[in-house]
């Protein structure tokens, strides 16, 4: 595996690697890698000759300084995991190289209605930061394929929208959420859960599964949302939102029989100081 820390070194390598119709797949991450991240990398390895994984804890997408400080960082272990699955290139840039003072990396893109609910509402500036870092990384890597996790459902829709609005020549591939055996969605933040909260964090997945059954049984989306907010209210846990929306536009559903083809339920729940998110398609496929 090649390891690059500098933008110019990575660019030079990719210029040389991109011959004979070879395609480049790209997986942006913030590190503290787990099997969820590795599933994106394996998918890219299966579909491209070159796979670049970046590890960069992007300061511009954190709306709380303490969350940025507490974000787990395990670069040594991450590199071992990447090498073990056969990743072609690991890219670990410095903040100063990602956002040089003499380069304007700011973006002003209108993502409405996609950024108006859920994470967009709860984490002001978050998606502007995500768009900024993904745009900068896409400029550097120029991949044919970009792999994003379903785990961050709203994020993959916004990144898709950005590539469309800016006519960026990359295909976004969304990879299903990888879960622990008890159903908890894998997340770098899970290591911060106490043993007790870790055990009970299955409530997110269980509530999403029940919501799917309830929608199939004909219950109204708003009744299910209300039920879910109660179900998530277990000791030590504080649900922030449980929202059932059109999975393509993230707009609310009509309380009629005339439901869209793809429906997603997304939730964010605080387990003490740790913020967990999860989602499930209640109708339709990825
Ligand atoms: P992060 O390091 O949290 O920014 O995540 C990097 C990428 O991995 C994003 O596209 C995430 O959606 C994806 N990802 C994170 N957790 C999972 C998971 N459990 N299953 C699938 N993809 C994931």
Average pLDDT over residues 187-191: 95
Average pLDDT, the chain: 96
Taking the mean position of all CA atoms in its chain, how far away is CA 110? 19
- Output the CA torsion sign for 17, 79, 149, 158: negative
Residues with CB under 6 A from ligand 1: 29-30, 36-37, 39-40, 148-149, 151-152, 175, 177-178, 185-188
Residue 164 Cα to ligand 1 middle (Å) = 21
Residue 9 Cα to ligand 1 middle (Å) = 26
Average pLDDT over residues 33-41: 98
Residue 269's φ and ψ, nearest 5 degrees, are -140, 135
Residue 148 Cα to ligand 1 middle (Å) = 7
pTM, whole model, 2 decimals?
A: 0.97
pLDDT band at 165; cut points 50, 70, 90? very high
Residue 176 Cα to ligand 1 middle (Å) = 10
Q: What is the pLDDT of residue 20?
A: 85
Q: What is the pLDDT of residue 250?
A: 98
Average pLDDT over residues 129-140: 98
pLDDT band at 254; cut points 50, 70, 90? confident
Q: Please identify, by atom number, the ligand 1 atom nearest to the C-alpha of residue 32.
A: 2
pLDDT at 257 > cutoff 80:
no
pLDDT at 132 > cutoff 90:
yes
Average pLDDT over residues 62-77: 93
Q: What is the pLDDT of residue 98?
A: 97
pLDDT band at 258; cut points 50, 70, 90? confident
Q: What is the pLDDT of residue 30?
A: 98
Average pLDDT over residues 121-144: 96
Q: Give the list of residues 6+ apart from residue 49 with CB closer than 8 angstroms, or none.
A: 17, 22, 23, 24
List the residue whose alpha carbon is closest to atom 13 of ligand 1.
149
Average pLDDT over residues 226-242: 98
Q: What is the pLDDT of residue 219?
A: 94
Catalytic residue annotation: 37
**Using one digit for the tens of pLDDT, what is the confidence trace for 216-230?**
999 999 999 999 999
Average pLDDT over residues 161-179: 98
pLDDT band at 265; cut points 50, 70, 90? very high
Which of 72, 77, 138, 152 gets mutated to test ligand 1 (max ligand atoms within 8 A of its CB)? 152
Token pair belonging to 52: 């670049």
Q: Which domains does the chain have, with CATH numbers?
A: 2-175 (3.40.50.620), 188-283 (3.30.1300.10)
Burial 101-140 (b: 16+ CB within 10 A, else e): eeeeeeeebebeebbebbbbeebeebbbbbbbbbbbbbeb
Q: Please identify, by atom number, the ligand 1 atom nearest to the C-alpha of residue 148.
A: 10
What percent of the chain is predicted at pLDDT more than 70?
A: 100
Cis before 54 (ω within 30)? no
């Amino acid at each position: 595996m090649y390891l690059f820390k500098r933008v110019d070194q990575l660019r030079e390598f990719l210029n040389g690697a991109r011959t004979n119709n070879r395609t480049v797949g790209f997986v942006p991450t913030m590190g503290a890698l787990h099997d969820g991240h590795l599933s994106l990398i394996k998918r890219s390895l299966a579909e491209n000759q070159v796979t670049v994984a970046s590890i960069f804890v992007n300061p511009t997408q954190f709306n709380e300084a303490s969350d940025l400080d507490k974000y787990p960082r395990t670069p040594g272990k991450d590199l071992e995991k990447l090498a073990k699955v056969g990743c072609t290139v690991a890219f670990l840039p410095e903040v100063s190289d990602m956002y040089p003072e003499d380069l304007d990396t700011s973006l002003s893109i209108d993502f409405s209605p996609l950024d108006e609910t859920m994470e967009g509402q709860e984490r002001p500036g978050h998606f502007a930061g995500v768009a900024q870092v993904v745009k900068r990384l896409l400029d550097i890597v120029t991949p044919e394929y970009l792999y994003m996790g379903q785990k961050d459902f709203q994020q993959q829709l916004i990144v898709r929208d950005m590539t469309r609005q800016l006519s960026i020549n990359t295909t976004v591939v969304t990879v299903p959420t990888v879960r622990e055996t008890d159903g908890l969605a894998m997340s770098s933040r899970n290591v911060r859960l106490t043993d007790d909260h870790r055990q009970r964090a299955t409530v997110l997945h269980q509530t999403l599964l029940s919501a799917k059954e309830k929608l199939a049984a004909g219950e109204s989306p708003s009744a299910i949302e209300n039920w879910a907010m109660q179900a998530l209210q277990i000791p030590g846990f504080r649900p922030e939102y449980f929202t059932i929306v059109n999975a393509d536009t993230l707009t609310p559903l009509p309380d009629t029989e005339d439901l869209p083809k793809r429906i997603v339920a997304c939730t964010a729940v605080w387990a003490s100081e740790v913020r967990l998110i999860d989602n499930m398609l209640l109708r339709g496929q990825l």
